[in-house]
Amino acid sequence: MKNLGTIGFSEEQVELMDVATSFCRDKSPVEKVRALMEDARGYDPDIWQEITDLGWLAIAVPEEYEGVGLSLAEVVPIMEQMGRRLLAGPFMTTTLAAQALIVGGSEAQKSAWLPQIAGGAIATLALTEQEGDWNLDNVTAKAEVSGDGYALSGTKQFVTYAGDAELIIASVVLDGEVRLALIARSAIADSALRREAIIDETKRSFELTLDGISIDAGALMDADMSKAALAHIDLAANLLQSAEMCGGTQAVIDYTLEYLRTRKQFGKVIGEYQALKHPITDAYIAYEKARSHMFSAAHSFADQGRGEVAARMAKAAADKAYSHAADRAIQFHGGFGFTHDCDAQLYRRNAIWNASQFGDAAWQRTKLADLLF
């Protein structure tokens, strides 16, 4: 097989893994997760500030824009621990928006926004539309020349954390070509945002109506750069999602194991029954495989060709492992599993959410078939 990823790690990655492991565990116990689910904003601004202070938003930002100058490989262990603890907040989408700027932004765009993001400004992406197409170049929203700038129109969906974002990067079509538009929050009326009801109650997402929004001439990325940025975001998102999903898979397996070790039925701890023991072992094995793919995708991400295969394999493996583990977790908790109080549903919903964004396992496999055969 050609184009396959390899595995390795950096010292920084391991250090960040250690810090993120204790930070996410301490800051996001499940009671806190559940409290934030009821909160309108959906995350704790104090924790966001701590994340900023830790420099996590600056990790993959180049040094000349006040970043640390590392890569997404170092963000992966953080994302994994956030997924494991269901730590709520706009970390992933802000990181992805920064990636869009790094790959597709002009010098002026990068200088204007990257230092702000590294310093804690929330940024997000507005890419999906009514069709729910995972092809990011299937865009109908428009930019039209208007005065010195552009007038936007159309509707974007799944714009996560748009309510608090200072920058929204939306895909629009100008003269038949897809462009990325940088929209400052100040240009968006509150009425242009509608909070969406989404499957994962630990996250926040909005529908954004672009009609009536105008941007400066300098706020569009050029066509080639936009294309490159979209291709990059697609893979970067799948990489980070694979990490969030691996973390979630580990957590849901641990949560279920705890139950299997303590719950008694018919005079036995239920973990003795092979009807439960073997499938949870299968789930665990799938998790370890997905985690190897995750590290490989992180390590190989920057390699032309290999990076795409590795990232898509990582997302496909993580989706398969997470969806199955969380599905079985509900079942193995019996009657309790059917309740909102049982944490199994949190993970199952988180898995569905992540599968729904940027392509599920089957979609990744379709892409992989063309890359591999």
Partner 1 sequence: MAKAGAAKPTEAELKEYTADAQAWFRENTVTNPGFMLPLTFMEVSTDQQFDFLRAWQRKVYEAGYLGASWPKEYGGGGLHPDYQRAATRAMKDHDAPIMINAIGIGWAGPLLLDIGSEEQKQKYIKGMLNAEDIWCQGFSEPEHGSDLGNAQLKAVRDGDEYVLNGSKIWTSLGDRAKYMILLARTSNNEGDSKYAGLSFFLNPMDVPGIETRPIKKLTGEYGFVQCFFTDARIPAEGLMGEEGDGWKIAMKTLEYERGAKVNLAGGYFLKELDVMGIVDVARRSRRGGKPVLDDPVVRDQLVEYMIDIQAQNLNNYRRRMPPLVQDRPMGLPLMSKLARTEMIRELTEFSLQFQGAKAGYYVGDDNAVDDGYWHRAYLNSFSATIGGGTSQVQKNIVAEHVLGLPKGR
Please give the single-letter amino acid code of residue 48: W
Angle, helices 72-85/274-300, rounded to nearest 10 degrees: 150
Closer residue to partner 1 in complex, CB, 237/280 = 280
Please identify which residue in 35, 145, 189, 285 interacts with partner 1, judged by CB under 8 A. Answer: 285
Rule CB under 8 A: say whether 313 interacts with partner 1.
Answer: yes
Residue 217 is a binding residue for partner 1 (CB under 8 A): no
Place of tokens 């960040």: 16
Asked if residue 309 lies in contact with residue 5, where contact means CB atoms within 8 angstroms, the answer is: yes
- In the region spanning residues 222 to 261, those forming contacts with partner 1, defined by CB under 8 A, are 250, 257, 260-261
Quote the least distance from Cβ 74 to partner 1, whole Å: 13
Shortest Å, Cβ 367 to partner 1 = 9
3-state helix, strand, coil in the chain (%, to 5): 60, 15, 30
Cβ 271 to partner 1 shortest distance, Å: 4
> Does 40 help bind partner 1 (rule: CB under 8 A)?
no
Contact status, residue 183 vs residue 156, Cβ threshold 8 Å: no
CB 216 within 8 A of CB 170: no
Residue of 4, 30, 189, 217 that binds partner 1 (CB under 8 A): 4
User: Toward partner 1, which CB reaches closer, 155 or 292?
Assistant: 292
How far apart, in whole angstroms, are the C-alpha atoms of residue 157 and residue 312? Answer: 23
Residue 21 Cβ, how far from partner 1 at the closest point, in Å?
Answer: 9
User: 181 vs 290, which CB is nearer to partner 1?
Assistant: 290
d(CA 193, CA 209): 7
- The stretch near partner 1 (CB under 8 A) out of 131-139, 276-284, 339-347, 349-357 is 276-284
Q: Is 302 near partner 1 (CB under 8 A)? A: no
Cα separation values, 161 from 139, 278, 295, Å: 21, 40, 27
Q: Is 338 in the site for partner 1 (CB under 8 A)?
A: no
CB of 336 to partner 1, least distance (A): 19
The answer to whether the beta carbons of residues 58 and 16 sit under 8 Å apart is no
Residue 274: partners with Cβ closer than 8 Å, 6 or more residues away:
none
Q: Does 19 help bind partner 1 (rule: CB under 8 A)?
A: no
**81 CB contacts (<8 Å, ≥6 apart)?**
17, 20, 21, 23, 24, 25, 87, 247
CA 224 – CA 125 distance, rounded (Å): 18
* Cβ contact 129:120 at 8 Å: no
Would you count residue 30 as binding partner 1 (CB under 8 A)?
no
CA distance 18 to 151: 47
Cα(33)–Cα(23) distance, integer angstroms: 14
Pick the binder of partner 1 from 12, 177, 282, 327 (CB under 8 A): 282
Q: Closest approach of Cβ 344 to partner 1, in Å?
A: 17
The reply to whether 332 sits near partner 1 by the rule CB under 8 A is no
22 belongs to the binding site for partner 1 (CB under 8 A): no
Which residue in 317, 325, 342, 346 binds partner 1 (CB under 8 A)?
Answer: 317
Q: How far is the CB of 308 from partner 1 (least distance, A)?
A: 13
Report how far residue 139's alpha carbon sits from residue 110's, in angstroms, rounded to the nearest whole number. 24
Q: Does 3 bind partner 1 (CB under 8 A)?
A: no
- Of 211, 206, 208, 231, the closest CA to residue 221 belongs to 231
- Nearer to partner 1 by Cβ, of 150 and 363: the residue is 363
To partner 1, the closest distance from the beta carbon of 272 in angstroms equals: 4
Q: Does 278 bind partner 1 (CB under 8 A)?
A: yes
265 contacts partner 1 (rule: CB under 8 A):
no
Q: Which residues are at the interface with partner 1 (CB under 8 A)? A: 1, 4-9, 14, 17, 250, 257, 260-261, 269, 271-274, 277-278, 280-282, 284-285, 288-293, 295-296, 313, 316-317, 362, 365-366, 368-369, 372-373
